[in-house]
Structure 1
Amino acid sequence: MAAHERFALVTGANKGIGFEIVRGLAREGLTVVLAARDDSRRHRAVAALHEEGLTVAEVALDVTDQASVDAAASWVEGRFGRLDVLVNNAGISGGGHHLPSAADMAVVAGVLDTNVLGVMRVTNALLPLLRRSPGGRIVNVSSGVGSMGHMTDPGHYLSRLEASAAYPVSKAALNALTVQYAKELRPLGILVNAVAPGGCATDFTKDLDLALTRTAADGAAIAVKMALLNDDGPTGGFFDDDGPVRW
């Protein structure tokens, strides 16, 4: 293993922004593990990146299944011995409408399980490997809808979205969780930040009534940037392409 070699893992990475994060990090010279639960989609995604000559591995990982998370962590340890970058990208919207007063509690619980508890499962399982890195980085892929500043600003388009107790709540919780991990891990030199990719034209947003022109690659750029921070970079922040995002 070369001393300068760096290893990354990206969850929920078989398509969309996650796939482009893998591609972006691999183009920067990292060996990237594309983690996803769907075997066929994962295999196709990795094959496409191999055709580009990129160094990408793959592992099955369902962020809602502790056994799957633990197995993936063991595989990474056996293959690489450490991890330098973790990008928690896997997330679900829950679909449909989730007005707080009429929300399906099981659906909301499922969104929180994936988008918040799933991040904790994966991060905690991989922390022993991140501690072995000379400069560990954790990037949590959040959303502008997790910004209470945006959602309560009459001048911001996100404030005009229908109220929801699912996805926006999960991303606000993820932002708060990011701060807590940053506080805990700062003494170890592990930088932890949340990012907002912005509205992108992907499968995730195809059913929204929004005229989106940004691509998945556009959305991935901020996650790649924060994954490659120097040691004096920020931690415990929320960022998009333009800089810090209001909490």
Structure 2
Amino acid sequence: MAESISQRVARLVSGSVNALVDAVEGQLPEAVMEQALRELDSAIDEARSELGKFVAQKHLASKKLMEENSRHETLSEQLEAAIRSGRDDLAEVGIAQQIDIESRIPVLEASIAECSSKEKELEGLIQALQAKKRDMKADLNQFRQARQEAGSATAEAPSNGSAAQKKAESAAASFERVMEKQSGIASRSTTTDTAVKLAELEELTRKNRISERLAALKADKN
């Protein structure tokens, strides 16, 4: 059974513990993270393609709905003229057309609603994938830096064993944090400065939402 885009996103965003454990044991964590980034890019492209299809479908359905409503209004005017002229035969044809239109309108409205729902869902999936990609790139850069520091520490070992050992231990700890973050075993440690900035970002987002809702309520009152 083919994997749906939502299932694929859920798998990519949650990460794969087994794959990362195997990568660490095989000493290829960087290759696995690079492959994960490529798969994220592929999933983002797929989600955008799906989003484009629903946007186009919604546009066509909306256009057709406007045409049907316009035709229904025109027929109403024509029916009045036919009745005033005593042409019941023409009125009956017009009424039949209106009934057909009325049966199609709910179908079009349902299609538009479904497309809107899919648009919202796919936009959310794309945002989740992009956020995951940013995290993965940060983790990959951190891992590379940890590996570079570990290599530097090893090179300095003969002349300064104690300092080199501390640097190697620091690099190893950095690497472990990357692996823990990617495997979901533990959360990434956050510095006090980062925590403050994240709290400020969350508060700013909340204030923006409040302002947007207030503006919408004021618009409804006008």
TM-score band by shorter chain is: under 0.3
Q: State the TM-score, normalizing by the size of structure 1.
A: 0.24
Name the larger-Rg structure. Answer: 2
More strand by share: 1
* Structure holding more helix per residue: 2
- Larger RCO, structures 1/2 (Cα 8 Å, 6+ apart): 2
